[in-house]
Amino acid sequence: MIYIETDSKDAAYHFSVEEYLTRVFRSDEPVLMIWQADKCVMLGNYQVAAAEVNMGTAQAEGIQIVRRSSGGGTIFTDLGTLLYTVIMPFNKDRDPLKIARETVAAMIVKALGKMGVPASQEGRNDILVDGKKVSGLAQYTRRDRLCTHGSLLYNTDLDMLVRALNVDEGKILSKAIRSVRSRVTNISQYMDNPPDTGGFQDLLKQKLFEDLDIREYVLNADELTEINRIYHDRYGNSSWTVENTPKFSFHNSERFPGGKAEVFLDISKGIIDSCSIRGDFLGTTPIRGLEEQLEKKAFEYDVILETLDRIALEPYLGSITKAQLLSCLF
């Protein structure tokens, strides 16, 4: 098995490395990566960010939002989380979920067991400790390669996880896949003398390497050039992230001192197709003028904020403020 490690803490960069290794890199050996990312919400390929992420929290806390190429649910990671990737040759006659369970999940469970952590596999793609989730796996294929990746909650800020992923279920009407909010825990709570996250990464590598014939590989300049191209075209490109959003409808209402505001949006490929704002606010100008200025805009916090900065809202919404309207939208 080949082991590759990078110094980057950018999740989008690591997904670009995965894409390169899965689609371009040619090797008969499996490839293993263990990596970290700064505060990040990782969307499954078929998910709607607005349905999964508390956008206000993400904006306030500087949480990156990235869309990966695998399916499955949205996860939150920070520097208390480890992530792992295994890329291997793949025969399409085989069941990828079975491969994930019998190879990738099994080796992670075994390594945790060597540290005294009583981990076990459960369901399709979860690893649990004491009945609580510490890891979930997801997969995708490119040509004749299978990429399986997952996260390990080691010393993750679980309060931040809950706040970042805590979305009102009534806001979104969509055929997109929704995440299941599982009870989660940190692996560090089950270790007698838990090291810091860097120490845990070293320990995990040590335990994995005991059972694997590993050789380390350093990506060369040409490979890094191609990875950077993938990064700028896809995973590090916010337009790509938005355009891959499934079509959905958004509805939310809030009551403020200046009256009730109720927002209805239809969104396709991340763009607001139609906008309707209703309520008992004391506007003096037809609300359609505001609705039209929000249509054809990307449904992203920064884009809507910039748009509202250019609009005098009082004629439309009375005393309802920009901050209050944003809280209704995000």
Q: How many domains does the chain have?
A: 2
Q: Which of 243, 267, 295 represents a domain boundary (last residue)?
A: 243
Angle separating helix axes 106-114 and 197-209, nearest 10 degrees:
110
CATH number at residue 127: 3.30.930.10
Q: Which of 208, 243, 278 represents a domain boundary (last residue)?
A: 243
Burial class (CB in 10 A: 0-12, 13-18, 19+), 327: middle
Contact 59, 32 (CB under 8 A): no
Token duo for residue 220: 């060369």
The Cα–Cα gap between 60 and 51 comes to 18
Residues 247-285 have pLDDT tens digits of: 889 999 999 999 999 999 999 988 999 999 999 998 999
**Is there a single domain that holds both residue 199 and residue 303?**
no
Q: Is residue 34 scored above 90 in pLDDT?
A: yes
The Cα–Cα gap between 234 and 218 comes to 23
Token duo for residue 147: 């990429």
Q: Is residue 301 scored above 80 in pLDDT?
A: yes
- Residue-number span of the structural domain to which 274 is assigned: 248-329
The span from the first CA to the last CA of the chain, in angstroms, equals 44
Where is average pLDDT lowest: 119-123, 186-190, 303-307, 320-324?
Answer: 119-123
**Is there a single domain that holds both residue 104 and residue 207?**
yes
Average pLDDT value for residue range 127-147: 91
Residues 63-89 have pLDDT tens digits of: 999 999 998 889 999 999 999 999 998
**Is there a single domain that holds both residue 139 and residue 274?**
no
Indicate if the alpha-carbon torsion angle 205, 2, 33, 47 is positive or negative.
negative
**Is there a single domain that holds both residue 277 and residue 310?**
yes
With b for 16 or more beta-carbon neighbours within 10 A and e for fewer, the 262-300 pattern comes to: bbebbbeebbbeebebebebebeeebeebbeebeeebbb
**Is there a single domain that holds both residue 253 and residue 148?**
no
Q: Which of 243, 264, 288 represents a domain boundary (last residue)?
A: 243
**Is there a single domain that holds both residue 284 and residue 136?**
no
**Is there a single domain that holds both residue 99 and residue 143?**
yes
Beta strands across the sheet bearing 64-67:
64-67, 40-43, 75-77
Q: What is the pLDDT of residue 31?
A: 96
Q: What is the pLDDT of residue 181?
A: 53
The Cα–Cα gap between 232 and 237 comes to 6
Alpha-carbon Rg for the chain, nearest whole angstrom, is 22
**Is there a single domain that holds both residue 234 and residue 256?**
no
**Is there a single domain that holds both residue 20 and residue 109?**
yes
**Is there a single domain that holds both residue 175 and residue 45?**
yes
**Is there a single domain that holds both residue 200 and residue 214?**
yes
Contact 150, 77 (CB under 8 A): no
Residues 160-181 have pLDDT tens digits of: 998 998 766 666 566 555 555 5
The Cα–Cα gap between 69 and 74 comes to 12
Residues 48-65 have pLDDT tens digits of: 888 888 888 998 999 999
Closest C-alpha among 289, 294, 239 to residue 264? 294
**Is there a single domain that holds both residue 284 and residue 226?**
no
Residues 192-236 have pLDDT tens digits of: 999 999 999 999 999 999 988 999 999 999 999 999 999 999 999
Q: What DSSP designation does 284 have?
A: S
